[in-house]
Structure 1
Amino acid sequence: MPTILVTNDDGVQSPGLLALKQALEAIADVVVLAPERNWSASSHAKTMHKPLRVNPVTLADGSPAFASSGSPTDCVALAAGGVLGVQPDLVVSGVNNGHNLGIDITYSGTVACAMEATIKGIPGIAVSTAVPEEAAMADGEPFQVAALAAARVARAVLAHGLPPKTLLNVNVPALPWDRLRGIHITRMGSRHYPATELIAREDPWGRPYYWLGGSGPVDVADDGTDVGAVKHGYISITPITLDMTDYTFLAELTRWDLGVWDGNIRAEEVQRDGGRPG
């Protein structure tokens, strides 16, 4: 049996992690190493200047797991470094409480776990869903549905592998299994946050403080994108590459006539010429 590392950014006692662990046990030996607290929106944070601790914990179903004092990325790095005594064949991160669509992948600790796995040469999958606002699903059901979808994707990755520097970002609509319309292979969609997400307030001493993220995202549900697929009831699977080079812009950038840099040019000359050396 292959070994799958299950981790997340919502914390080791997250119901999404438990559902994912239980679903993946049907296809692999599963080990769990996740943060001891919630690290949502932590992106690819990595601990460099203080020691990390890994402690045994017990999940809600009575099964053993490990919790780290570090970030989601740290958990993957620790496991890849051998702290669990076994090398994972696959890392599956989630099930995150909230979709990771479009530009959100740059903030997501869930996706960062899959990125770290990919950097370490281990296939990585990030899995997310959302708890519906309406009481159309039983408590915990969105995570169980997403976990079943994740197991299907994980089985395929174990069979076929993934290209180097590539991970899969999976988003599952918050729908019962029998209402899912299928799977779409997608590209990243358009999601942004309005400027009103900044909320300024004052503490009792009159000093200003701020809240970020007060407003919900604005999505463009285009066909062929992760946003559009989830909006229309499809599971979205988006291949994400770590090579973020904008190849379509390379040729244009070379036409900017930036010139050959002369180390003798003074900074004031560059500023005087509008940033153009020479």
Structure 2
Amino acid sequence: MMKRSVRATVCVAVVAATAFVMGPAGAAPASGPEASGPLNILLTNDDGWRGTGGADTPYIVALRDALRAAGHHVVVAAPGTDQSGQGGRVSSRGQKLQVAEPEKDVWTVTPGSPSDSVYFGMDELFPNGKPDLVVAGINPGFNFGALVNHSGTFNAALTGVEFGVPALAMSLETQPDWPAGTRLAARPAASYVVDLIERLKARPRSDGRLMPRGVGLNINYPLVEGPTDPTTGDPRLATPKGTEPTTIQGGAFLVPDFTPDNDNPGSPGTYTMGYGTVDTSADAGSDIKAITDDYVSMSALQDDHDVDGGTEGWLRGLARGMR
């Protein structure tokens, strides 16, 4: 039986097949616009839309196709190059960005970031109003814990929330020793997003919005290993146990590892950048804990970065008497 290592999941890419019905679990929070019928969706990611028909970025294609098959109007605005790990970076004012439309309702922004792509979509692709929903993904590789601070997928969704549009980010586990698992899970993960949108539409807020104002969702979908296929000897894909409402686990996840080419650490010169990971236990109720236990993790993301009440009291005391 393959043992999951949540340490080994920071981004790869491949393709898809199969179907999933959302498990029991925690109620999905509500967000966004008034919508009883098909939605106008702005779809983005941080891996970009690359290759003919998106052949080099099959996960965003799988999600686009699933959303369209569910009847939604989907417009893609994504980077023209791989922009993984770019966080919420936006290009400088005056910078020239090359925009292309490789196929109908698919736009690429080069060398734009994920947030640049959302900006472009808001400004140019929905001239008669905002989209009903921004969706970022599917990202091959988890975006949980402190990784969300640096994730282009997470921050693309957060950019949508900044515009007052409900948004969700969808990431899918990868396992180096089971690459076929990610390929198999792409379609179930896309189906999960479709089901989640239907659940949001069926549970609107009192003001008709899909989610609370200023709130979005960060979803992480685990690979769950099923019985071994006797023909191939490979594990089959099993369904997650359900969905857990989670917090985003705090603390460092990546450890920097700079290696100097001149073998003289701490001196000027050329360094090769590397990363290690913190081998830490998963906090109860956290996104990492849910994934470790084979649940889909659903965390709230929001554009309000204010801290909790206890910290506010500390801040008031600190500021009192300062000039």
Normalising to structure 1: TM-score of the pair? 0.83
Shift of 1:198: 1.6
Show the counterpart of 2:108. Answer: 67
**Structure 2 counterpart SS, 1:77:** helix
CA distance in 1, matches of 2:254, 2:163: 36
**Is contact 2:173–2:182 with CA below 8 Å preserved after alignment?**
no
**Is contact 2:140–2:182 with CA below 8 Å preserved after alignment?**
no
Is 2:44 aligned against 1:11?
no
Shift of 1:187: 0.8
Is 2:190 aligned against 1:147?
yes
Q: Would the alpha carbon gap of residues 79 and 257 (structure 1) be closer, same or farther in structure 2, given more than 3 Å must change?
A: closer
CA distance in 2, matches of 1:66, 1:78: 9
Q: How many residues align?
A: 255
Shift of 1:194: 6.0
* AA matched with 1:101: F
Shift of 1:175: 2.9
Shift of 1:260: 4.5
User: Please, which of 156, 162, 167 is the counterpart of residue 199 of structure 2?
Assistant: 156
CA distance in 1, matches of 2:58, 2:279: 27
**Any gaps of 5 or more consecutive residues in structure 1?**
262-278
Show the counterpart of 1:169. Answer: 218
- Which structure carries more relative contact order (alpha carbon 8 Å, separation 6+)? 2
**Is contact 1:100–1:128 with CA below 8 Å preserved after alignment?**
yes
Show the counterpart of 2:316. Answer: 254
CA distance in 2, matches of 1:245, 1:139: 36
CA offsets 1:48-105 (integer angstroms, 9 cap, x no match): 33132321114xxxx7521111110011111111335564211110111210111111
**Structure 2 counterpart SS, 1:140:** helix
CA distance in 2, matches of 1:33, 1:141: 25
**Is contact 1:5–1:90 with CA below 8 Å preserved after alignment?**
yes
CA distance in 1, matches of 2:213, 2:159: 12
CA distance in 2, matches of 1:238, 1:188: 6
Q: Would the alpha carbon gap of residues 54 and 158 (structure 1) be closer, same or farther in structure 2, given more than 3 Å must change?
A: farther
Normalising to structure 2: TM-score of the pair? 0.72
CA distance in 2, matches of 1:44, 1:189: 19
Show the counterpart of 1:36. Answer: 80
* AA matched with 1:81: D
User: Please, which of 285, 291, 297 is the counterpart of residue 224 of structure 1?
Assistant: 285
**Is contact 2:219–2:298 with CA below 8 Å preserved after alignment?**
yes
The structure with the larger Rg is 1
In the TM superposition, 1:64-103 aligns within 5 A as 65-69=106-110, 70-83=112-125, 85=127, 87-103=130-146
Shift of 1:230: 0.6
* AA matched with 1:65: V
CA offsets 1:208-235 (integer angstroms, 9 cap, x no match): 2233342134343222110000111000
Q: Would the alpha carbon gap of residues 81 and 194 (structure 1) be closer, same or farther in structure 2, given more than 3 Å must change?
A: closer
Matched-pair identity in %: 26
Greater than 6 Å deviation, 4+ residue runs: none
**Structure 1 counterpart SS, 2:238:** helix
**Any gaps of 5 or more consecutive residues in structure 2?**
1-37, 51-56, 205-209, 226-236
CA offsets 1:152-206 (integer angstroms, 9 cap, x no match): 22223344211111110000002366331111011112452464x32222179x9
**Structure 2 counterpart SS, 1:18:** helix
CA distance in 2, matches of 1:169, 1:234: 14
**Is contact 1:192–1:218 with CA below 8 Å preserved after alignment?**
no
**Structure 1 counterpart SS, 2:270:** strand
CA distance in 2, matches of 1:45, 1:94: 17
* AA matched with 2:134: V
**Is contact 1:191–1:217 with CA below 8 Å preserved after alignment?**
no
**Is contact 1:125–1:154 with CA below 8 Å preserved after alignment?**
no
**Is contact 2:147–2:253 with CA below 8 Å preserved after alignment?**
no
Larger deviation: 31-40 or 132-141? 132-141
